Structure 1
Amino acid sequence: MDAKTYTAALGELRVLRDDIKKAQAALARLEAERDKKITMLADYEKAKAERIAPAAGLSLAEVVSRVPKLAPATLTADATPTEPVQPATVTESAPVQATEATEADEVPGALAPALTPQSTADPEPRPTVEPAPTPVTIAAPASALMERERALPSIPEGPDGDNWFTHTPNLASTHPNFTQQARTTVFLDATTGTLVHRDRTTQLGLGNGSVGEILTAVFHAVPEGAERIYITAGDPWHRDADRHPYLKDAVAAWLNAPAPGWHTDTGRGKDRMAGHFVHPRNPVGRYQRDNSEHHVEIRSAGEWFDTTGATPAIVRDAFVLLWTTLRSHWPDAVIMGSPSQTGRDLWTRTIPERGQFADGYPVLSEELRGLLHATAGQGRTELITPPQVPDQLPALVEYDRTFAYAKHTWKSGVGTPRRITATTFATWSEKEQTKALFGCGHWHVRVTVPTNWNHVGILPAPAPGDRAWHYPATAGTTFTTWAGGPEIYTALANPLQPWKIEILDGLLFDDGKPLDDWSRKLKEAWSRLTAQAQLHGDPAQRTAAHLASRAVRAILLYGIGSFAQRPRMVTGSTPRTMERDVPQDAEIIAFDDHHITWQRPTGFTRDPHAHPEWAAGVWSSARAALLSQRMREDNTYVGALHAPPGSVVAFRTDAVYLTGPQNWPYHGQPGDYLHKGHLAGPVPAPTTEDELLNLRDIGRAALQHRSPHSSGEV
């Protein structure tokens, strides 16, 4: 670039600056006019926020924040104060090694050192019960709720709370009495037009890659029809992304574009999967042929694994390998549209038909499911920035846990949980307290970080934002939260210093193995495919086996997530000419000249396979293992708390990022820490997630170049 071009570009930049200012001013005027209209409408005695929100293109909460008097009565009514609870405080005497529990562990002995005073000249006191008032939560208007940190729910005192501890009548997970039907599937590269159907490859002309053009081309090439089209490359739903402010808007526009001869599938009988699923990267389009019963899905193969560089034929081979491998464990196995659907279907076929749960696993009450939904987070994602870490890192080293969730499925809570109040917990012996905290439980606790703590946080605490969590680590900090037994155990028995835990309330289940058989079969399938990916003589088949092994991982990972059964969010599209038909409780997420795209929560459905207690237990165990895990074969411990203070840079679900390498053994088994990336320093400490991910990719490439066999995706 010369000086003349530089000067001209500066002039163009100033013009853009002025245009942006004008647009911002115009937008501000429009928003002010909109808010003025909302305030005017609120003066109407029958005005409802549910009706105003879709007309304004705002959420219900955003309308209420502008006009608080429109808030529903349930948001503004004060809660009835209750008697304060006496929490049971568990204090510890000396740090011990945290242990990853296995089936061979004896419960009392595993945690007893954490609760029993050490033999010293000046022994510490035994666990005590300390009275402390429980703060009474008073509901506030929505505008106030949005301005403060998210408050976690608690169980009501007395009989009202006790009534939560039951199961939903006539709703249980039972062994299926039918054979799942396979769907005719084709694989399409939307960039090159390559279509693979069984053993036949066809080259298609897709035009601009619209829904209508894809359906026309595919059904011309496959006259007998297809019920599922997997897009292996090309992401056609992103073709107009530059014309929309958000990627989700572009996806919604692509899904809802006219497709001559087809209309949006509205469902068949009890099919709850009707309609499009708007997702920014892995959407699902569901269509039905006009005047016909022919239904078809357009899905992304990226739901299952990363397809980068894989041809449609290799992706097809990966699905064939996946199916044949699963069939060795489930003779009636069928690959369904997504990993979560497949995982849950396979799990139902491991439900025992004899014994204690021959009648199925009952589903918890809606109140307990809602409590677990609000208080049990998933993977730990945290970036630790300066001054907690150096501005210039000596290195950035990534350790990723292999097939991590498969490590934590051997034990889960079953049956109707017991409510363990603070008073009840305080009356128990040390042995009973130990067994309870070591068991399958979910605990409401008040936590105090030790006064001289200098490492990362252990227990999650609610942060501002929907389902956001952070991990307080400042010495002396006190907070109230919910946590699973594995994390409570780690806080009490970590290798540095025990934390103070006050039990306020809790759910305690009987120990069971509802996921063990399912997980064991998936681990065997994963091991077989992983071996093929390493040993097969044909490079294409090695790639297919690798992708199939990743699909098995996705089946278990997303299968566990499906047990959480979060409140459903339904997405829909309504013509602009029928705006009044937009559901009153819907949130407008996109619109154009022809359609309004909206979403609305529908609450918990009567899903017979909803078991959030199992998902919460696995997630808690996985978060605890990021901090401390025992390697039995090597008689050693691994995890973030076994790295030096100040050396932890980040957590990302199954991975931990450190400033230096660790001598952690790796045997390629589920839960082992794989040395996956190593970027030599000095490295500027990342301050954003994007910076971390960029350094992660560079570190993986650097380690692969240095030692091709030392890192790999597993």
Structure 2
Amino acid sequence: MDAQSYNTALTELRTLRDEIKKTRSRLAKLEASRDKQVTQVAVYEKAKAERIAPAAGLSVAQLVALAPTLAPATLTTRDTTTAPPGDNPPEPLHQKTAPHTPAPPSAPAAAEPQATTPAPDPDNPPAPILDDAPRTLPCLPGGEAGDAWLTPTANLASTRPNFTQQARSTVFLDTTTGVLVHRNQTHHLDLGTCTAADILHAVFNALPEGAERIYITAGDPWHRDADRHPYLRDAVTTWLNAPTPGWRTDTGRGRDRMAGHFVHARNPVGRYQHENSEHHVEIRSVGEWFDLDGDDPHTVRDAFVLLWQSLRRHWSDAVIMGSPSQTGRDLWTRTIPTRGQWADGYPVLSEELRGLLHATAGQGRNELITPPRVPSQLPRLVEYDRTFAYAKHTWKSPVGTPRRITAHTFATWSHKEQQRALYGCGHWHVRVTVPDTWNHIGLLPAPAPGDRAWHYPAEPGTTFTTWAGGPEIHTALTNPLTPWKIEILDGLLWEEGKPLDDWARKLKETWTNLSAQARLQGNPQQARAAHLASRAVRSILLYGIGSFAQRPRMVTGTTPRTLERDIPTDAEIISFDDQTITWQRPTGFSRDPNAHPEWAAAIWSGARAALLTQRHRDDDTYAGALHTQPGSVIAFRTDALYLTHTQNWPHHQQPGDYLLRGHLTGPLTAPTTEEELLTLRNAGRAALTTTPDA
């Protein structure tokens, strides 16, 4: 760029700046006018929030913030009681051993009476819950209601399938170059403007027999008009729902029935059926399986072939399905025992208990620690990533129907029984106090404002109430610095079993073999294909575990503006234009026979605990954030640690080992946003001269 171009660009930026100011000013006036109109219509005696909200393009909570008199009767304040009904809070569990010496928790002492929550006053209804209200976690109800939660869902269990999964005809398409790879054939397509209709037309012209699955390896055609939309998700929705002459949206079929399109900002799925035949086809992103770095469709094809061949060594009927999560769960069902205690299947928890786990069991730890808790200038930024981390925590899982362990019951147990319970398969409702002398990172997750948001309090003397898994509770009580103060308020305790052990063992062996091929293969393309296949195995386990969590379903729909009163009353408006309103609403949990959030929660808890401290028996050493200097931990990202100093932690190419992924020499300004952290992370990875496979 020369000086003239530079000055011209600055002039254009100033013009854009002025336009942005004008637009923001106009938007502020429009919003003020809307808010005024809302308050005016709210005084109508028959005004209803569910009617006004879609008309104003607001959620019910946002509307109530403007007009509190419209608060629906179903909105009440959250119960601020920290202990479950009917139980007295016990004295805290704490260590009486010297610091730096892990020890089991001591028995709790006598409990004090608990204050009860006042009954609601019908003449003075409480204020509604708004979107930015602090989040309070649910607890188990007392009495018969709580007992009913422990009863598994009737006639629903995970059983071994009695059918053979059918393979789908698959092709790989680069929408940038138009290269299509089908088995050993290569075609060059004219994709026009890369609409779904263009892709379907071009593929079926080149392959008269058609295909059932089209993997997009490059080009991201669903982002072609992203600059016309405020969010990528909106661009994807428009692309998926554009007209496809000769095709209609698929309504699903078969045992792995998946109906309709799946809207995702990065990896969407378009499902279509030919109007004049029974031909079904999916358009998917290969990004669901692994990240590409300019790899052509031939290399991607080879990676999937290697993946299938490797899985077949352990599962004679293995089939690669559309996504890693589908593949992972299908392979797992084929390891369910046909004899023994669980021959009749693994029971599925009640919907209420699944909902409790959904609300109280977070996934990976994602936390950015900013100044003044860390230096404003960092000497360096070092990234350590736990290799194939979740595979380390599948050897033991909760099975069967859980027992409820109340505070009183826990207090009556012996020291040995308490230790065994906290080291077992449990999910605990606890009150936590950070030690007064604490000067390191937080250890236990606490609910933060926002849907499923968590933070990790570390300020000395802070007290909070939360739910956490046994591995994290045990770590907080036996950490190598100072034991934390833990009060057991309630809990769920399962029998220990190995429902995932055979499945995970086979995947780990597959991953190990493919990783070795990637390191030893002399042909660069085959080495790259083996590396991608190993990453696909990682995704199968990672997303397979996530699929056990079975989140509540969210249905998305559109309604013409002229029929807005037909929008479901519990729906949230997510976008709208002159013709239609797009909304979404939760529909609860499906009757999924493979829903086991207790397994996902146990693995996630173990992985979070291992980020803090992990013993390497063969090396007689420990690794993890608690084995670093205070103030040296910059961030956590699921299974990665970002530090200011290098560590001499062992790495033997085994699941769970800490692998050095990036090293950036400073001085560096400490990141204060996720974007800044990722920028430094990418620079650190590029700066590291040798980057082993992770």
Smaller-chain TM-score range?
over 0.9
Q: Which moved more, 1:617-626 or 1:262-271?
A: 262-271
Equivalent position of 1:698 in the other structure: 683
| 2:223 corresponds to 1:223 | no
Q: Which moved more, 1:256-265 or 1:74-83?
A: 74-83
Structure 1 residues 505 and 258: CA distance shift in structure 2, 3 A: same
| 2:484 corresponds to 1:504 | no
| 2:447 corresponds to 1:462 | yes
CA contact (8 A) 2:61 2:130 kept: no
| 2:292 corresponds to 1:307 | yes
Provide the C-alpha distance between the structure 1 equivalents of 2:532 and 2:163, rounded to a whole number of angstroms.
29
Structure 1 residues 463 and 78: CA distance shift in structure 2, 3 A: closer
CA contact (8 A) 2:384 2:662 kept: yes
SS of residue paired to 1:436: helix
> Offset at 1:268?
3.7
SS of residue paired to 2:348: strand
Provide the C-alpha distance between the structure 2 equivalents of 1:471 and 1:564, rounded to a whole number of angstroms.
22
Query: What is the TM-score when the length of structure 1 is the normalising length?
Result: 0.91
Equivalent position of 1:28 in the other structure: 28
Cα deviation 1:281-324 (Å, max 9, x = unaligned): 01111112223322211110000001221111111111111111
> Offset at 1:49?
3.3
Provide the C-alpha distance between the structure 2 equivalents of 1:579 and 1:289, rounded to a whole number of angstroms.
32
Equivalent position of 1:326 in the other structure: 311
CA contact (8 A) 2:262 2:268 kept: yes
Letter in 2 for 1:254: W
Provide the C-alpha distance between the structure 2 equivalents of 1:334 and 1:174, rounded to a whole number of angstroms.
18
Cα deviation 1:310-365 (Å, max 9, x = unaligned): 11111111111111111111111111111111101111111111110111000111
> Offset at 1:5?
7.2
Provide the C-alpha distance between the structure 1 equivalents of 2:135 and 2:186, rounded to a whole number of angstroms.
53
Equivalent position of 2:105 in the other structure: 115
Structure 1 residues 575 and 287: CA distance shift in structure 2, 3 A: farther
> Offset at 1:687?
1.2
Provide the C-alpha distance between the structure 2 equivalents of 1:349 and 1:179, rounded to a whole number of angstroms.
10
Structure 1 residues 358 and 47: CA distance shift in structure 2, 3 A: farther
Q: Which moved more, 1:14-23 or 1:565-574?
A: 14-23
CA contact (8 A) 1:93 1:114 kept: no
Provide the C-alpha distance between the structure 1 equivalents of 2:243 and 2:177, rounded to a whole number of angstroms.
23
Equivalent position of 1:630 in the other structure: 615
Letter in 2 for 1:133: Q
CA contact (8 A) 1:364 1:416 kept: yes
CA contact (8 A) 1:89 1:502 kept: yes
Residue number among 163, 170, 190 corresponding to 2:148 in the alignment: 163
Provide the C-alpha distance between the structure 1 equivalents of 2:316 and 2:163, rounded to a whole number of angstroms.
13
Provide the C-alpha distance between the structure 1 equivalents of 2:650 and 2:281, rounded to a whole number of angstroms.
48
Letter in 1 for 2:298: A
Structure 1 residues 4 and 352: CA distance shift in structure 2, 3 A: closer
SS of residue paired to 1:115: coil
CA contact (8 A) 1:95 1:493 kept: no
Residue number among 525, 537, 557 corresponding to 1:552 in the alignment: 537
Q: Which moved more, 1:2-11 or 1:254-263?
A: 2-11
Q: Which moved more, 1:567-576 or 1:281-290?
A: 567-576
Provide the C-alpha distance between the structure 1 equivalents of 2:352 and 2:161, rounded to a whole number of angstroms.
27
Letter in 2 for 1:713: D
| 2:93 corresponds to 1:90 | yes
CA contact (8 A) 1:95 1:495 kept: no
Letter in 1 for 2:693: E
Residue number among 445, 450, 467 corresponding to 2:430 in the alignment: 445
CA contact (8 A) 1:89 1:130 kept: no
Provide the C-alpha distance between the structure 1 equivalents of 2:273 and 2:63, rounded to a whole number of angstroms.
37
Structure 2 matches for 1:95-110, cutoff 5 A?
Answer: none
CA contact (8 A) 1:174 1:361 kept: yes
Letter in 2 for 1:76: T
Letter in 1 for 2:29: R
> Offset at 1:166?
1.3
CA contact (8 A) 2:76 2:129 kept: no
Q: Which moved more, 1:609-618 or 1:589-598?
A: 589-598
Structure 1 residues 9 and 307: CA distance shift in structure 2, 3 A: closer
User: How many residues are paired up?
Assistant: 687
Letter in 1 for 2:89: Q
> Offset at 1:146?
3.1
Structure 1 residues 73 and 416: CA distance shift in structure 2, 3 A: same
Provide the C-alpha distance between the structure 2 equivalents of 1:569 and 1:270, rounded to a whole number of angstroms.
21
Equivalent position of 1:54 in the other structure: 54
Structure 1 residues 68 and 211: CA distance shift in structure 2, 3 A: same
Letter in 1 for 2:112: P
> Offset at 1:244?
0.8
Cα deviation 1:181-207 (Å, max 9, x = unaligned): 111111100111000111111000111
Consecutive unaligned residues of structure 1, counting only runs of 5 or more, are 99-110, 117-125
Consecutive unaligned residues of structure 2, counting only runs of 5 or more, are none
Provide the C-alpha distance between the structure 1 equivalents of 2:313 and 2:329, rounded to a whole number of angstroms.
18
| 2:125 corresponds to 1:128 | no
Letter in 2 for 1:49: A
Provide the C-alpha distance between the structure 1 equivalents of 2:298 and 2:319, rounded to a whole number of angstroms.
20
| 2:252 corresponds to 1:249 | no
Provide the C-alpha distance between the structure 2 equivalents of 1:320 and 1:134, rounded to a whole number of angstroms.
63
Structure 2 matches for 1:528-539, cutoff 5 A?
Answer: 528-539=513-524
Structure 1 residues 80 and 380: CA distance shift in structure 2, 3 A: closer
Provide the C-alpha distance between the structure 2 equivalents of 1:651 and 1:616, rounded to a whole number of angstroms.
18
Equivalent position of 2:353 in the other structure: 368
> Offset at 1:17?
3.6
| 2:693 corresponds to 1:713 | yes
Q: Which moved more, 1:365-374 or 1:270-279?
A: 270-279
Overall identity of the aligned pairs, in %:
72
CA contact (8 A) 2:381 2:643 kept: yes
Provide the C-alpha distance between the structure 1 equivalents of 2:578 and 2:276, rounded to a whole number of angstroms.
27
> Offset at 1:158?
2.4
> Offset at 1:479?
0.6
Equivalent position of 1:563 in the other structure: 548
> Offset at 1:573?
4.4
Equivalent position of 2:637 in the other structure: 652
| 2:79 corresponds to 1:76 | no
